[in-house]
Amino acid sequence: MPDNSDYALRPSEKLDVLYRLFRGENICDLIDNMDNTSVIGLQKFMWETAAEFGIISRKHNFSRKEITRKMKPTQQFQKEQNCDERIYFCKGTHCIHSNSECARKKIKEHIKVMSESIREYIETEQHNETFVQSTLS
List residues binding other proteins (CB under 8 A): 8, 10-12, 14-16, 18-19, 22-23, 49, 52-53, 56-57, 122, 125-126, 128-129
Cβ at position 33, least distance to other proteins in Å: 15
Cβ at position 56, least distance to other proteins in Å: 6
In angstroms, the CA 120 to CA 106 distance is: 21
Q: For residues 63 and 126, which CB has a smaller minimum distance to other proteins in the complex?
A: 126
In angstroms, the CA 38 to CA 30 distance is: 10
Q: For residues 107 and 118, which CB has a smaller minimum distance to other proteins in the complex?
A: 118
Residue 24's φ and ψ, nearest 5 degrees, are 70, 20
